[in-house]
Amino acid sequence: MTRPRVIETDQGIQGEFTVNLYDQMQRRLRDKGWIETKDIIKSRITKGLALEIGPGPGYLGLEWLKNTQETTLKGLDISPDMISIAERNAEEYGLSERVEYLHSSGDRMPFEGEKFDAVFTNGSLHEWSDPKNTLNEIWRVLKKGGSVFISDLRRDMFFLIKWFLWINTKPKEIRPGLITSINAAYTPDELQKLVKETKLENCLVSGNPIGLKLTGVK
Ligand SMILES: C[S@@+](CC[C@H](N)C(=O)[O-])C[C@H]1O[C@@H](n2cnc3c(N)ncnc32)[C@H](O)[C@@H]1O
């Protein structure tokens, strides 16, 4: 039986040491082509202005900008330390003109309704302190016809998959954080139940061996 969720943090990822380790881990995944940008593009999120919630060091959204044309991005993160790293990485990509990072929380977005062509996020759902309101906020700021893409780890992954992730997570100082993230993650069934309590309509929740995904069009 799957153990209950154990909340990891409601403050986001903070502190210079931790965010630098996280940046090294994500940079390595980016270099191996193991981040979810291709899935986002496969979900037909390829145009206009997108919002990324919890961009952390920013690679997912920066790769999205790099692989799409005439797109722009806003990134919303509750961690000022992560925002500093994301801004530095945007500069390194030469994409600062197309992205703006804002310090705010997904459950109270500083945007008018129907502003974005798409909202996407990876790996932050399990940290949201108010997931119901965050999902409702996503729906509010999406244009009609806009797309949503949410991916994260799943808590009920098979233990061999967890072991595989553990040995492939580098630098190894970040490995304890992997386990606390898995323990805080939702199962696909839990996410499905959560979605039913929100304003989201016509969204599909699916699972794979490592994680879960929510996709839909407003
Ligand atoms: C585990 S990191 C994932 C970073 C990145 N998306 C990735 O795929 O590597 C989670 C990020 O979400 C941010 N975060 C957590 N709760 C948030 C919230 N309520 N609103 C906005 N950002 C949040 C954290 O500060 C952190 O940068």
Specify the amino acid at residue 56: G
pLDDT digits (tens, 9 = 90+) for 17-28: 788 999 999 999
83 lines ligand 1 (CB under 6 A): no
Cα angle value 205/197/76 (rounded, 5°): 70
How far does the centroid of ligand 1 lie from the alpha carbon of residue 138, in Å?
15
pLDDT digits (tens, 9 = 90+) for 67-112: 999 999 999 999 999 999 999 999 999 999 999 999 999 999 999 9
How far does the centroid of ligand 1 lie from the alpha carbon of residue 128, in Å?
8
Mean pLDDT of 189-213: 97
Mean pLDDT of 157-186: 94
pLDDT number for residue 201: 97
78 lines ligand 1 (CB under 6 A): yes
How far does the centroid of ligand 1 lie from the alpha carbon of residue 1, in Å?
28
Instruction: Confirm if 121 and 150 have CB atoms less than 8 A apart.
Output: yes
d(CA 19, CA 79): 9
Q: Is the peptide bond before 171 cis (omega within 30 degrees of 0)?
A: yes
pLDDT number for residue 17: 75
Q: Which of 124, 128, 150 to mutate to test the pocket of ligand 1 (most atoms within 8 A of CB)?
A: 124
Q: Which of 28, 77, 82, 108 to mutate to test the pocket of ligand 1 (most atoms within 8 A of CB)?
A: 77
Atom of ligand 1 nearest to the CA of 14: 25
**Secondary element (H or E) of residue 19:** helix 16-32
Distance of CA 28 to the CA centre of its chain: 17
- pTM for this prediction: 0.96
To which residue do tokens 């931790």 refer?
Answer: 18
Mean pLDDT of 32-55: 96
pLDDT number for residue 190: 98
